[in-house]
Chains A and B, each alone.
Chain A
Amino acid sequence: MAREVLLYELAHARTGDKGNRINISVIVYRQADYALLERQLTAERVAERFAYRRPTHVERYLLPRLGAMNFVIDDVLDGGVNDSLNLDMHGKTLSFHLLGMTMTLEE
């Protein structure tokens, strides 16, 4: 039986910003969960998750030795730290928005 869990249960994350581009690292708590994330946490799904912020491009980099992946997301800051009307002009809160995604445990 497949069971759904929040990504938050499997991994932690951090946002960094440069200009109008952010990166969000996603790091698994248990290496055993990495393969599942590799299959399910695709650049396409992350782009969908941020659809309201209108990303123009999402790139995923894999770092299996660190149990981590790095998402680089373009143009979600409404102009970036020097330009944005958004309260969170750095996008620092967005890592937890990502962790609110649902993953399906494969039994």
Chain B
Amino acid sequence: MESLLIGCGAGFSGDRLDAAAPVVRTLIQRGGPAALMFEMLAERTLAAAQLLRRADASGGYEPTLKDELRPVLADCLRHGIVIVGNFGAANPAGAARAIIELATELQLDKPRVAVVEGDDLSSEDGQALLKKCLGAQDFESRAFVCANAYQGAFAIAEAIRAGAQVVVTGRVADPSLALGPAIAHFGWHEDDLDCLAGATMAGHLLECGAQLTGGYFADPGKKDVPNMHDVGFPIAEVFEDGHCIVTKAADTGGRISAASVKEQLLYEIHDPCAYLTPDVVADIGEAQVRELGPDEVMLSGVRGHARTDTLKANVFFDNGWLGEAEISYAGPNARARAELAIDIVRKRLEGKMEMRFDMIGLVSIMGDDAGRLLSQVPDGGLPDVRVRVAGRHHQEAMIDLLHQEVTALWTGGPAGGGGVRVAKRPRLLLRSCLVPREQLPASFRLL
């Protein structure tokens, strides 16, 4: 049976808008059946989208959706390249309407757009179910924001088989965006475990876009990647037995090598012999990665085990506010002045909120919130150092106070302090739990 090409158009919400077009051009050039996936829904992104939808019932889907699809929608529809994306976020139906609107703007025939549903657990029934799975304690002590379960690939496949040209989902497992078109194409069943697992790992390789082709990888002199400014997005050729060959969009920068494939293969994996998805348990314990040629790498030997009886759900609760404020000091004795600035803020706000202090340029990442590492790092005659204060509190007004205190260092702090910047955002608490699968059937409907 003919293989299936699956390209990746985006690897996160807000990814580069010019990435998908070269992928689609390559899919068309290579010919044969093809799909294009968009993965745009990190853990936090969906919670943020749920908040947007609360503020505006017509919103809550990927804000860049039309800009992402505008360069490729006509070509995909014309060449039968099915588009699958989780850009529906908190409002898949809204996203589907936006896509139909875009088609009208582009003077295209109305596309057949399907919406996959069944992931949202924010309703009263959903919350009642979550209380059973998560325990009532969190629900009683905190303000619930939203919850979504990770749905799988089969509803996507059914939508494609029913004629959908674009499939919009909310929360589905990222690799399911690739597995769905593969199931539709090859006609795999739930017990074709090795095939499902192989295509799942193909989807896993694709789901972060440039992370397979040199992004999050390049290290000058050690892992050199050509033309990173124009890094091309990946394409997987999936075969009937589930193995795949990954390449990238033609005439782009970046590089796919065994090394980049291995890094992405293990990205966000815990037990490599039990990568749990809603569709299958994938096992890369005996998998092989082999370079076939330049920018051409094969993944084979992935095994599958039967899927579990549960789906993972992410549950978000309000968790107050995060505030950050920064100020810089330069030249002789900069560190001592930075330390004095920290001391002033600490004493002004002591006992009022949890805080963390960093000295950017000295140590700002490696230490823990208590600053135990920072206190032991000698300064090597720094040209400048930037103080960062981060604080959390359930009241936004207290975050404003943190901003005021750092801003007041302009005039009331150590000598030569400059470059104050402040920022704040709501914080969310994430709890994950497992929900019985039969309680959460996924379904699709064509618009």
Contact = CB atoms under 8 A, between A and B. Distances in A.
A55 B70 CA distance: 45
A31 to B, nearest CB: 11
Interface stretch (B93-101, B116-124, B135-143, B360-368): B360-368
B225 to A, nearest CB: 12
A70 B267 CA distance: 9
A67 B262 CA distance: 9
B263 A14 contact: yes
B272 A85 contact: no
A12 B319 CA distance: 36
A53 B270 CA distance: 19
Interface residues of A, number: 37
A54 B210 CA distance: 32
A83 B388 CA distance: 17
Q: Which of A54, A59, A65, A67 has the most CB of B within 10 A?
A: A65
Contacts of A54: 368
A81 to B, nearest CB: 6
B30 to A, nearest CB: 28
Interface residues of B, number: 54
B372 interface: yes
A8 B271 CA distance: 24
Contacts of B391: 85
Interface stretch (B195-203, B215-223, B339-347): B215-223
Contacts of B84: none
A interface: dominant SS: mixed
A45 interface: no
Contacts of B364: 87
Given A25-B266, A63-B285, A85 B366 contact: no
Contacts of B388: 87
8 contacts: A12-B219, A12-B263, A16-B268, A19-B43, A59-B270, A78-B356, A81-B44, A82-B43
Interface of B: 42-44, 47, 216-217, 219, 222-223, 259, 262-273, 284-289, 301, 316, 319, 322, 354-356, 358, 360, 364-369, 372-373, 388, 390-392, 427-430, 432
Q: Give the 10 A-B residue pairs with the shortest CB-CB distance, closest first.
A: A16-B268, A25-B266, A85-B356, A14-B263, A85-B390, A16-B267, A52-B373, A82-B428, A88-B365, A82-B430
